[in-house]
């Protein structure tokens, strides 16, 4: 009787898990069957996880797909796998390291010289660090890769997107954007500690949402549309950045409760191909549906300020920047560089703020 009761209990638990997983956790599948023959798509971070599944779907639809990745070996393996699964030989690798603005510029130059078209740009790559690190340009790793790198990349490719309308930009965000307000002084701040690493990631995701919003405003009337997306809680290789003890706890939980990468890619795919969503340009999507964001993520004045700040940080603009905003960022980076006692720390800082044109106060 005990054995029978145990079997019944296990069967009931499995049934409940299956019901919850497929109805609440797995997520919604993109229903569009649109062909992408003759279209060119860039997917950043496409050698694994959500990015690879997104690229795989684009290739199945007949697109020419550029895997923009940092690791050559992993990306070339992904290219071969996608070609094998789709019989689409128009899948190629181009090197891109979003932690280096120099690499972003080199990628854009190579792409624009070699590829005559661009219809869909999917800013998928993301960095989630337990401990804070820094990019080659001195930005915190999360904000540097997830926001500044993609911001520069999108701007460098924008004219090509405008030439190939209708075209789209998809920006991978996250629900973690809700957890922080935008603090410009922290966009370059790097301090040791686990909590700050998470907050850095959350800041970058808020930047992603605001970036898509302002990009949409600036592209109004061009037939280039953009969307930020939440992929859901996905079981990807992001856990490789965690320490051993956290992995022992989270990996089994992720296997049971998180979406697989294919499920996590569905909203990105939806925003890349679904017809009839153009009127929602600049909005935030989750489970293939438009969602309302919290108030601080739909503030157009803040989104515009972030755009102008980002232009200065990546060297795209000679426009005036408010001296208070500049000083905030300078002091935080200066403090960090001095504390690390790097000989060339001041050079790195001054390169970022050289030729500054101040705006009047007020």
Catalytic residues: 201
3-class secondary-structure state, position 235: coil
Helix (H, G, I), strand (E, B) or coil at 334: helix
Cβ pair 131, 192 in contact under 8 A: yes
The pair of structure tokens assigned to 171 is: 């920006």
Beta bridge partners of 53: none
Helix (H, G, I), strand (E, B) or coil at 326: helix
DSSP state of 23: I
* CB 241, CB 248: distance < 8 Å: no
Q: Where does residue 73 rank: exposed (0-12), middle (13-18), buried (19+ CB within 10 A)?
A: exposed
CA 320 to chain centre: 28
**Given the structure tokens 């998180």, which residue do they identify?**
258
Residues in the chain, total: 362
Residue pair 169/224 in contact (Cβ under 8 Å)? The answer is yes
H runs (alpha helix) in 115-193: 141-143, 150-163
């Amino acid at each position: 009787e005990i054995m029978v009761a145990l079997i019944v209990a296990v069967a009931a638990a499995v049934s409940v898990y299956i019901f919850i997983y497929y109805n609440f956790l797995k997520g919604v599948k993109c229903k569009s069957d649109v062909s992408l023959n003759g279209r060119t798509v860039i997917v950043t971070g496409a050698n694994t996880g959500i990015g690879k599944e997104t690229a795989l779907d684009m290739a199945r639809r007949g697109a020419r797909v550029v895997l923009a990745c940092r690791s050559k070996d992993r990306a070339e393996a992904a290219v071969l796998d996608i070609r094998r699964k789709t019989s689409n030989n128009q899948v190629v690798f181009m090197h891109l390291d979003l932690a280096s603005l120099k690499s972003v510029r080199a990628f854009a130059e190579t792409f624009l010289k070699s590829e005559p078209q661009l219809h869909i740009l999917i800013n998928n790559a993301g960095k989630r660090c337990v401990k804070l690190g820094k990019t080659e340009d001195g930005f915190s790793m999360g904000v540097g890769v997830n926001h500044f790198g993609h911001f520069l990349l999108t701007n460098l490719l924008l004219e090509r997107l405008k030439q190939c309308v209708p075209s789209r930009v998809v920006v991978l965000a996250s629900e973690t954007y809700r957890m922080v307000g935008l603090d410009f002084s922290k966009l370059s701040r790097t301090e040791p500690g686990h909590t700050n690493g998470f907050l850095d990631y959350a800041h970058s995701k808020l930047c992603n949402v605001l970036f898509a919003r302002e990009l949409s405003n600036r592209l109004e009337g061009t037939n280039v549309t953009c969307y930020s997306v939440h992929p859901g809680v996905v079981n990807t290789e992001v856990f490789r950045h965690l320490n051993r003890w956290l992995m022992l706890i989270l990996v089994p939980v992720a296997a049971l409760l998180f979406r697989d990468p294919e499920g996590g890619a569905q909203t990105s795919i939806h925003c890349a191909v679904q017809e009839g969503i153009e009127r929602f340009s600049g909005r935030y999507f989750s489970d293939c549906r438009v969602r309302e964001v919290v108030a601080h993520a739909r503030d157009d004045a803040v989104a515009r300020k972030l755009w102008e700040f980002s232009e200065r940080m990546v060297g795209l603009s000679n426009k005036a920047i408010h001296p208070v905003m500049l000083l905030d960022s300078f002091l935080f980076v200066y403090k960090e560089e001095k504390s690390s006692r790097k000989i060339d720390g001041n050079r790195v800082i001054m390169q970022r703020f050289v030729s500054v044109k101040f705006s009047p106060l007020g």
